[in-house]
Amino acid sequence: MSLLRQPLLLLARSSQVKRLVSTMPVSAGIVRGYVPGESTDAVVAATAALVDDGLTVTLDHLGEDTTDRAQAEATVAAYVEVLKALAARGLTRHAEVSVKLSAIGQFLPDDVAPEGGHRLALENARTICRAARNAGTSVTLDMEDHTTTDSTLAILRDLRKDFPETGAVLQAYLHRTEDDCRQLAYEGSRVRLCKGAYNEPESVAYQDRLEVDRSYVRCLKVLLAGQGYPMIATHDPRMVEIASSLASRFGRQPGSYEFQMLYGIRPEEQKRLAGEGETVRVYVPYGQEWYGYLMRRLAERPQNLSFFLTSLISKK
C-alpha cells in the first residue's frame, strides 16, 4: 500500500484526472456518494434529506493546508454563508459545522500573516463560531496530523472562553490521546473520538491496528465516565457494539452522547441506530476541493482505499 502514496499525491494535483473522475458516469456516481456537491445549495439540500431520515449533520467545507490569505478568508465566508442558509431552512437544530484550522490560516507563513498563522486562525475561528451561535448551532474543530495537535487544542481553549459549546476532536491512534481525553472530559465539553486517518510515525502513534482499537476503547471509557458529551466517530461494527455496552455500563442515556459516521458510509446502519433512539451525526464534506480531499485521504493512509472500495460493495 505504501507504494500507492506518491502516485495518489500526484493524481491529487491533476486537473485532467479530476475532470475524468467528475464526468465518467461510474466515478461521478461514486464521488456523489461521498461528497454531495460543491455548492451551498447542494449541501443544504443533502442536510435536509438526512434530517428527514432522523439523522443530524456536521458540515465540512473542504480545504486544508491553506497557504494563501485570500483563500483562508474565502473559507470563512463559505462557512458564514452555509450557516445562514441552514438557519433560513430551519436546520440548525440538527446541523453544525466542522472546521479545519489549517484551512483558515493556522500555518500561513509570517510574510502572508504578520500576526502569525495561529492567531489568524483563532480570529477566523471566532468569526465562524459567532456566525454559528447567531444561527443557533455550534462548531467542532477538526484535528489534523500530530504536528497540529498542540496549536489546535490551544485555539480550542481560547475559543471556549467565549464559545464553550465549541467541539474538539481527538485521535485514538496517538499515544497522547488518553491523557487528552482526561483533560477534556469535563461538563459541557463536546469531544469527537476517532481512530485517526493520517500516516503518523511510530514515535507518536500506534501502528498496529489492534493497538489502535485498544486505545480507542480506553479513550471511550474515559470520555463516557466523564462529565462531557462524547461523540463516537466510528464505522467499525465491533466498536459501535462496544460503545453501546460502555454507555450502558456508565449509565449514559441516549442523548448524552452520539455516534458519528461519514456521509455515504454505512447509511443503513446510521438509520438503524437512529431508529433505536441513538443520536447519529453524519459528517458531510462539500465544496470545490473534493477531489484533492479524496485523493489526499487515500494517500495519507492508502489502507483507506480498501475501506472505500468495500463500502461501494456494501452500503450497510
Catalytic positions, written as ranges: 142, 192
CB 188 within 8 A of CB 168: no
Q: What is the 3 state secondary structure string of 201-258?
A: CCCCECCCHHHHHHHHHHHHHHHHHCCCEEEEECCCHHHHHHHHHHHHHCCCCCCCCE
CB 61 within 8 A of CB 46: no
Relative to beta strand 190-194, strand 168-171 is parallel
Element (H, E) at 114: none
Q: Which of 211, 228, 120 is nearest to 168 (CA)?
A: 228
Phi-psi region at 55: left, alpha or beta (left = phi > 0; alpha = psi -120 to 50) = beta
Asked if 152 contacts 192 with a C-beta cutoff of 8 angstroms, the reply is: no
Distance spanning both ends of the chain, measured CA to CA: 25
Alpha-helical segments (H) within the chain: 5-12, 15-23, 25-34, 40-52, 69-88, 117-135, 149-162, 177-184, 209-225, 237-249, 267-275, 290-300, 303-313
Opening angle at CA 171, ends 221 and 168, nearest 5: 85
φ/ψ of 241, rounded to 5, equals: -65, -45
